[in-house]
Structure 1
């Protein structure tokens, strides 16, 4: 069977220990290096917890005396905060009470989503080996992607102050990219010479004394004068090839600092207004309430686990902050012209109905989306930016003052959604302060939605084939594991089909790889229409596909389904003016008849498929 480059292959190539734990602390993936350190075979750990194998891990932060047992606390913290953790650890490993070794490691815990639910990827490196530049190209790309997923700002410098490592978040603080940073110094990207000198003194102090340092607050000012505030931890970094460097891990506290300053300023205004005149007291309270609203929005962005939960909470916060009768927020899919997600909240008023895409675009929201600018519409005055139908509906529902602000995303011609506050005709108009607050909230929500889209795309790319958009080998194995677990509970049958296209190489050689790609896409589309929603169709590699059929009745029904898939392939394909004819060979493996575990099922299906391919092709393996 042909095998492509899988995630497991790449993890094996990484110079360190890599493993993935789910919320039950069971090992989903593990590389050979970590298994070797535990004196076990990698398969011994899959699906097992460390305590099941009498393994004990004792973790201690070098600067703290307390020792924690196992990776559970790090796993829970990474999932709770939904942030990457980077931590120096003294790691002691024991099996059945006997020591297996002690190690000083740099540990990265990366929270991931996936078909099995939430889990965490752990990457452990002996600290003297931590050096991205020493990796070959494929491993460097994977490690850079892991580092780039961190919301922390990560960098490394040599003794001359040249950058040797930078992740995406750190580069953005300088207004550049990681590639442009490497080999250059702060002088190339900053104009605050005094601050650069402070960096230099701190870096040399860490390198010369080989001790960590924490800088509670420092600034980064790019060449355009944009300033950001950081809390930075710097540690000595030493590798065989690149001696005496400093590793920095920073947290951007700009928003926190700005919000704190805004709160202090608001409180100061409150005290001054209170002394000057009691009639200004209500205004000061309103300012404080708005600041608190921004805090609540920040908390919602951090804590909300689902998009719907986030939109619901934003509506509640806005309705309270600007005293709106109604609040709505919509995220739109412009390509499909539909409302992708939305929420409407009412405060002491009858509920409004969810609005469809076309009606939304006919109203004030449509103008805001097109112009990517906020709009304020006072009560009692028809707004020409709305259609006549929307104006009539607004009068019918006794809607008064309206504020609509866009949810903008960088480099997009249209806003990706809107945030709207509405009042009743009996209520006063919204104020300019209300508009400014909603703009600030919309800005935070826009960033959060953009980040969620990016993470969704990354997760989709990790588990799907780029050409056909089918599940890839990794997702197929996960789905097969779930199907097996369900079949064991229900005492039912499942079937695994391995399908290989006959003569696909000839198509590539005679018509070109472009036509070959079109053929793979066309075959996938035909099979997608046949597959049941409960089953899984995946592209394993090249011209090989696999299918999991759940709840099968008998061997004959499986063979009949396999025959239908073959018949779909036998029909000619018209690709760029070429009529392409092709066949396929199918191998079948049934649980529990042929095998009782995932590995054996896959081997049996692969073997039967090659029996057909080596004999007559264009057929299904049938039992005698």
Structure 2
């Protein structure tokens, strides 16, 4: 009995999940099965006659042409991978098995879509990279740049904008992308600020297409805004702009939600470290450097002065009769006075100089990089006159005068601790002389 035979036709091939593609020697499609539409997004009739290489991802075209040459030379390619661009602009990863048919003078290939597998592999790498960056980043701008670089490997058309809520003013500021000037920020898309504010106000994810008046290429692009949440609540928003002519997929959203979680955690940790660092080195009331930071800066300044053979001065300032202010108006008014005094002293010196709150109503000014002793005396007198101007406390004008002592390097001493002691001693001499004066110390024994 003879065995029956059956020759498959195109209808049967169209039932396959993998796509069958036939390309002639010129590189044009002469046959594609129905599965091509599912994989590439084009109907079979749209693909016929098209040049195959034009659909290949630009970065993969050179090696794809090399593989085609080898196939036409008779080398079977059972597992060749490359990327194609779908009709909707999405990237699709293809695993090919291809051979040359000398009888028909065509390349016959089977295309298997491995996009999901590639995505999962990349996702694991991306998630690990983001987690590691969040743990190891030294500062927030560095973290944001690392996250952008990592995510772009998977979502190359994504642009990030990140807004944080200022803890004091409750206003938004944008640490990423870093805007060097106000003009740079003005060139950002108009959607950035209002969308970030909407995400924060609604405490929800916002997904929105570009404005209808955008160009045809931009009308299908979309904006994705996600809230940055910490244990304290909403601390900001992350805005992702898809610049490609395609919308954010659900997988994109899930990835960016993970990014938000990691970024929010890192921001909260960095803010906590910043607060601890500030508490260790700055006075909470006046926001001036405290005694510990003053000693660090004085140590560094003396080393620099010795190296550069320049002058250095310490001005020790004490407010005359400050206790009377506390007794008359209360400690809240006393705190207000100290804050105002700190601001006035800062306005009298250069940005490179240091104004520190030493203790109570005592302040120390570190002056660097000057060539004549008269400079320190001039600054001390400038501070004395500034503090002699009335302060308004509890609706009343109140005058406060300072006693200021000056110690100089190298004139008085080259020792760090002794320099501070001499300035302190000179301040007491000014106070004993009636206050509201400047006194230079005598040279140390």
Pairwise same-fold verdict (TM > 0.5): yes
Which residue matches 1:281? Answer: 114
Q: 1:578 to 1:395 in 2, by over 3 A?
A: farther
Distance 1:332 1:360 in 2: 16
Contact 2:290 2:358 in 1 (8 A): yes
**Structure 1 runs of 4+ off > 4 angstroms?**
277-280, 353-363, 391-399
Q: Structure 1, unaligned stretches of length 5 or more?
A: 1-276, 345-352, 383-390
Which residue matches 1:367? Answer: 198
Per the TM alignment, residue 415 of structure 1 is displaced from its structure 2 partner at its CA by 4.2
Distance 1:481 1:437 in 2: 49
The secondary structure found in structure 2 opposite 1:609 is helix
Which residue matches 1:4? Answer: none
Task: Give the number of the structure with larger relative contact order, counting CA–CA contacts within 8 Å between residues 6 or more apart.
Answer: 2
For these two proteins, the number of residue pairs brought into alignment is 326
Q: How big is the alpha-carbon RMSD for the aligned residues of Structure 1 and Structure 2?
A: 2.6
Distance 1:393 1:289 in 2: 32
TM-score, length-normalised on structure 1?
0.49
Equivalent residue for 1:406, pick from 227, 236, 260: 227
Superposed counterparts of 1:176-575, under 5 Å: 279=112, 281-321=114-154, 323-334=155-166, 335=169, 337-343=171-177, 354=185, 359=190, 362-378=193-209, 382=211, 392=213, 400-412=221-233, 414-425=234-245, 428-575=246-393
Per the TM alignment, residue 358 of structure 1 is displaced from its structure 2 partner at its CA by 10
Distance 2:429 2:289 in 1: 26
Distance 2:214 2:405 in 1: 61
Distance 2:241 2:437 in 1: 63
Distance 1:356 1:587 in 2: 52
Q: Structure 2, unaligned stretches of length 5 or more?
A: 1-109, 179-183
Post-superposition Cα deviations, 1:349-377, rounded to whole Å, max 9, x if no partner, equal: xxxx6567994555433322322222233
Q: 1:410 to 1:572 in 2, by over 3 A?
A: same
Post-superposition Cα deviations, 1:294-353, rounded to whole Å, max 9, x if no partner, equal: 0010121123223222111111222222x3413213133443745341038xxxxxxxx6
Contact 2:209 2:220 in 1 (8 A): no
Distance 1:457 1:357 in 2: 31
Per the TM alignment, residue 488 of structure 1 is displaced from its structure 2 partner at its CA by 1.2
Contact 1:480 1:548 in 2 (8 A): yes
Contact 2:282 2:290 in 1 (8 A): yes
Contact 1:538 1:546 in 2 (8 A): yes
Which residue matches 1:71? Answer: none
Q: 1:438 to 1:590 in 2, by over 3 A?
A: same
Post-superposition Cα deviations, 1:46-101, rounded to whole Å, max 9, x if no partner, equal: xxxxxxxxxxxxxxxxxxxxxxxxxxxxxxxxxxxxxxxxxxxxxxxxxxxxxxxx
The secondary structure found in structure 2 opposite 1:620 is strand
The secondary structure found in structure 2 opposite 1:436 is helix
Distance 2:188 2:293 in 1: 34
Per the TM alignment, residue 474 of structure 1 is displaced from its structure 2 partner at its CA by 0.5
2:439 paired with 1:618 = no
Contact 2:192 2:239 in 1 (8 A): no
2:418 paired with 1:600 = yes
Post-superposition Cα deviations, 1:426-467, rounded to whole Å, max 9, x if no partner, equal: xx3321111111111211111111110111011111111111
Contact 1:463 1:474 in 2 (8 A): yes
Larger radius of gyration: 2
Per the TM alignment, residue 516 of structure 1 is displaced from its structure 2 partner at its CA by 1.3
Distance 1:488 1:424 in 2: 59
Q: 1:303 to 1:325 in 2, by over 3 A?
A: same
